[in-house]
Structure 1
Amino acid sequence: MAQGTGTPGVTVAVTSGNLQRPVPVLDGIAGIMGTAYTVANIGVVKTVYGYDDAVEKGYTPELEPFLNKQLREFYNELGGTQEVWVLGVEDTMLLKDMVSTTNANGLKKLLAVSRGRVNMPYICRKPDATYTPPVAFLDKDVSDAVTASKALCQYQQKINQPIRLLIEGRVVDVDQANTFMPATASNTYVGVVLGGSLADGSASGSVALARAIKYGAHVKIGNGQNGALTITPVFIGDRPLEEFFPEELDNLSDAGYIIFHHRDGAAGYYFGIDKMAGNDDFEILAYGRMMDKVQRIATATSMPFVETSVRMNPDGTINDADAQYLEDLIKTAILAGTEAQLSAVDVIIPTAQNIINTSTLSIQVKIQPLGYLTWINITMGLTTNL
């Protein structure tokens, strides 16, 4: 510190932002890709570590109102600071183009620059003034993006950097009947978030992103033990959530959307079921995130054994001791990395493998997930005695 001048005294510097505690990284690193307006932020991947840091790096309310809102809602829900990878794109870029495997400036770029760290991206957009979607409940660009994103998600899984993607469910006309059913889309890498803090058809998917990132992969974003969401109010299209009948929200949930809702006896908003766009084993986000986590652990544990060797029995099968050693090593690593997040794990290496001719070892990993209480049925009645 430089020496002072004048008469002796005490100088105090008051700083702000110190109450934003760092939120530890558990099982996810977030990425946000959306509409930007300044040249410095279009096509450029930046890492921010909190809302104030995001503003300092150019995502201000004045220059970048759309991305600023996404980051503000994310960090409000997160309740602290954590790294987020951000990529701004032109307001003419469609959601389906963001997730195209051939778009060098799309989500593929964000994932590549992060070198696999981002495993929970969210894509959203504020269309330019000339954009006119077909009259429908949901912007067709959303359903197109659900379909188009599957190839990129499969690619990420193939290179052992799996992701679960959230897509903004942009509503065009809330009075139109919904015709898109994410539950039938056959792409459970992806979830569509419906509902947001503005009455303009946009969605606050960054809130869902924060709720997922804040807790372990096994924790559902609608977990009632974690309290209500920070967002208020909530609209679907231009209608407040409170104006929807319960059966209307039930229908949207059954269709496969991730929606906001109220819960009896509790204040505030909660997420419904963490539905993904399909009905296979990974139809809820928690199952998919846990599988992704186990894939990364199994890959990291197995990688040191690439181009090593195992002993073979006279009949051409793998030596039992070598197979057992690898099984135990991988299983121990998975259990250590997923403590209390799974019900059970089993690792099997079939010994009847023709490794001498194929140089390929096949390993089976089976995980039993936790069970989730999505519905609770209570039977009640009067009685004359107890």
Structure 2
Amino acid sequence: MNGLPKVKINVNNDGLGQVAQTEDGVSAMILTGTSVSGGAQVGESFQVFSLDEAEAAGITSTANPYAYKHVQQFYQEAGNGAELWLMLVADAVSMEDMVSSDENYAKKLLDDAKGAVRLIAVSRKSDGSATIANGVDADVDNAVVKAQALIESYADKYKEASVIIDGKDFNGTVADLKDYSTSDQEFVSILLSNTDGSKNAAVGLLLGRLAKDPVMRNPGRVKSGSLPAIEGFFTNEQAIEELENAWDNIHNKGYIFLRSFVGRSGYFFNDAPTCTVASDDLNNITRVRTIYKARRVAYGVFVNEILDEIPLEANGKIAPALIKSWEGLVDNAINLTMTQNGEISAVRTFIDPAQDVLATNEVRVSLDILPVGYAKYITVELGFTTSLS
């Protein structure tokens, strides 16, 4: 390990072998809009904590109706007090450019927020002239690739975030949709639904549900209650119910959309997949949020130990007392901030006493997180019987 003395924590994403708002829910949206005199300016980021504050900045139903719709849905779910960073961009700006590390949109917003943003959504208002590729606007997949690259560049700085891309202008042909379960963009998800029958996804609604929940909570959790919507659509302007026979197929391809349940009123999100393979531990937004929260907590503990003295035994190995101390510090920090809140099931820290810190000037730590499980599939064997004894 070279360069400045530092803590480096690598995230292992194949360990599972899978086939009220906190700072974890700080959110951001980049949306099509126009500058307002004395208020929001195109290309400039700003922070609000309520719909009223957004309106005071010019995000109103008259001055910026498209952005207003998304911000309104965000606060319907997240509630007043939720921290939201916003940036308006001209209608010519693609989502690919919004999230590109070569452009000053998402990059500028993340920098302005000083690493606080954990969830970010981008949406370009559909004008009906999209070039379709993979069943949606070609801009969607381009944005997925650029968003992954952008967040990867911030992850090493402990400023990672999950990105929601508007799956706009769906052509209605499920077979055309790209199968993102074969991709490797674990920081990015695509939303394919809305509540108003338009060609844009309700990114503010999904962002609001994620923002108000703890990191481990799936936005599709039925016990969380239905969404504030009386209708649900795909972004081809088609009602959710009209494609019910294709729900499984769309789900298996890694998209987020609205669904309903027989006997239960309202609409719910189907799940929170990310654009990556099923064998990747980070194939869901909940897993991404959970592991990176643990990473930030561990960083907060270990950064305090940079360049501290390491007492050694006569054999040159790390003193057991120090090992126990460090292991305890990390376990306690993660247990207090995550385990006790039900965000993970357990944590285990291990420091190998046999490592040669004199030769390497490096202390290697193994940090294992046992996540919570999810009742995604419930199978009941039901039948008649001649006796219950």
- Report if TM-score (shorter chain) is over 0.5: yes
Q: CA deviation at 1:24?
A: 4.2
Partners of 2:214 and 2:301 in 1: how far apart?
21
Query: Residue 361 of structure 1 aligns with which residue?
Result: 363
Partner of 1:42: 42
Q: Is the 8 A contact 1:26 1:213 kept in 2?
A: no
Q: Cα RMSD over matched residues?
A: 1.7
The runs of 5 or more residues in structure 2 that have no matched partner are 1-19
**Separation in 1 of the partners of 2:45 and 2:181?**
32
Structure with the higher strand share, 1 or 2: 2
- Could you tell me whether the CA contact under 8 Å between 2:126 and 2:199 is conserved in 1? no
Matches within 5 A, 1:300-339: 300-338=300-338, 339=340
Q: Give how far 1:243 is off.
A: 1.4
Specify the code of the residue in structure 1 equivalent to 2:48. V
Q: For residues 266-314 of structure 1, what are the alpha-carbon distances to aligned partners after superposition, in whole Å with 9 as ceiling and x for unaligned?
A: 1000011211111210111111111011011111111111121211233
Letter of the aligned partner of 1:349 in structure 2? I
Q: Quote the Cα distance in structure 2 between the aligned partners of 1:294 and 1:254.
A: 28
Q: Structure 1: how far apart are the matches of 2:285 and 2:53?
A: 29
Which of 187, 190, 193 is equivalent to 1:192? 190
- 1:296 — aligned with what? 296
Deviation at 1:136, TM superposition (A): 5.4
Could you tell me the TM-score, scaled by structure 1's length? 0.89
Larger mean Cα displacement after TM superposition, 172-181 or 115-124: 172-181
Matches for 1:173-252 after TM superposition, within 5 Å: 173-175=171-173, 177-236=175-234, 237-245=236-244, 247-252=245-250
Rounded to whole Å, the distance in 1 between the matches of 2:121 and 2:179 is: 20
Report the CA distance between 1:172 and its aligned residue: 3.9
Conserved? CA contact 1:208–1:221, under 8 Å:
yes
Secondary structure (helix, strand or coil) at the match of 1:46 reads strand
Q: How big is the shift at 1:134?
A: 3.1
Partners of 2:345 and 2:21 in 1: how far apart? Answer: 24
Report which structure shows greater RCO (CA 8 Å, sep ≥6).
Answer: 2
- Go from structure 1 to structure 2 and tell me whether the alpha carbon gap of 1:261 and 1:132 turns closer, same or farther (over 3 Å shift): closer
- Taking the aligned partners of 2:357 and 2:62, their CA distance within structure 1 comes to 61
Using the alignment, how far apart are the partners of 2:140 and 2:220 within structure 1? 23
TM-score by length of 2: 0.89
2:24 aligned residue: 27
Aligned to 2:376: 374
How many residue pairs were aligned? 361
Residue identity in the other structure for 2:348: D
Aligned to 1:125: 124
* 1:48 positional shift: 0.8
Cα distance change on mapping 1:135 and 1:333 into 2, 3 Å: closer
> Is the CA contact 1:92–1:127 (under 8 Å) kept in the aligned structure 2?
no
Shift of 1:72: 0.5
| SS state at 2:204 partner | helix
Change in Cα spacing, 1:361 to 1:135, as seen in structure 2 (3 Å) is closer
2: CA distance, partners of 1:134 / 1:225: 37
Taking the aligned partners of 1:38 and 1:233, their CA distance within structure 2 comes to: 31
Q: Secondary structure at the match of 2:376?
A: coil
Distance 1:284 1:191 in 2: 9
Per the alignment, residue 19 of structure 1 pairs with none
1:159 and 2:157 equivalent? Answer: yes
Equivalence for 2:15: none
Structure 1 segments (4+ residues) deviating >4 Å: none
Asked if residue 286 in structure 1 is aligned to residue 286 in structure 2, the reply is yes
Are the equivalent residues in 2 in contact too, given 1:26–1:214 (CA < 8 A)?
Answer: no
3-state DSSP class of the match of 1:313?
coil
- CA distance 1:24–1:141, shift in 2 (3 Å): closer
Shift of 1:348: 1.2
Contact 1:146 1:185 survives alignment (8 Å): no
Which runs of 5 or more structure 1 residues have no equivalent in the other structure?
1-22
| SS at structure 2 position matched to 1:126 | coil
Counterpart residue type for residue 193 of structure 2: G
Identity of aligned residues (%): 27
Q: Aligned-pair distance for 1:26?
A: 5.9
Alignment match, 2:343: 341
Post-superposition CA distance 1:58-117 (Å, at most 9, x none): 1111111111111011111224332201111121221111111221x1211111111111
Q: Which residue of 1 aligns with 2:68?
A: 68
